[in-house]
Every structure is written in structure tokens, then in C-alpha cells.
Structure 1
Amino acid sequence: MTFRLACGDVMPGCNAHFESNDRDSLMQEVAAHASVDHGLHTIDAATADTVAAHIRAA
């Protein structure tokens, strides 16, 4: 199964998109993106939950 996330669903105005066959790998990619592009060096539980809620299976 493929999992997808559009960062703009969480951070309006961001055009980044992510796709992975593994949810954990996807979350790692998103965390790296959040750190580099959004300055979020630490992802708290509430933010992780929000991101996870926007992941779609394709």
C-alpha cells in the first residue's frame, strides 16, 4: 500500500508532497522536511497526530 501526504494540508501554502510504501518512513521524510523548510526541529505529539491524520492511503 502507498501512503501520501500533501504538506499544504497541514501547513497552508506549502507545495511539498510525500509518498512512501511505509507510514513510518513517510513520517520520517515529513519530519525532515518540517525541520529544513519550516524550522520545526522538534515535532510534538499534537503535531505528529495532526500530520498522521492527513496521511492518505492510495
Structure 2
Amino acid sequence: MKRFACGDVIPGCNATFTAADEEGIFAQCMPHGAAEHGMTEVTPELRATVRSLITTV
């Protein structure tokens, strides 16, 4: 199982996401980023940052 905490990228955000794999994390957190943080683009750098912060639980 994988876990990502949005607050690791956006200080103050309490949203966390869990999924069986990284793609499941991205499927959840990218719409969250758009809706809650106004992110209109997922740059390769952002994707790499998120990937580096995903942990195994």
C-alpha cells in the first residue's frame, strides 16, 4: 500500500491519499491539487516531487 500527504508539498494541507500503487495515488491527488490548490498543470518536476514523497505503508 502507498501513501502520500499533500502537506509535504503544500504546507498546511491535511489531505492524505492511499492506494495500492503510485498511479492510484496520482489518480487521487492530481484532481485534489486542481480543485483545492488551483494547480492547472502537472509538471514533470511536480510529478517527480510527489513520487519522491510517496511512502510504503
Normalized against structure 2, the TM-score is what? 0.94
Equivalenced residue count is: 57
Identify the residue that residue 23 of structure 1 maps to in structure 2. Answer: 22
Show structure 1 runs of 5+ residues with no match.
none
Normalized against structure 1, the TM-score is what? 0.92
Ranges of 4+ aligned residues in structure 1 off by more than 6 Å: none
Residues 1:38 and 2:37 are matched in the alignment: yes
CA distance in 2, matches of 1:3, 1:21: 6
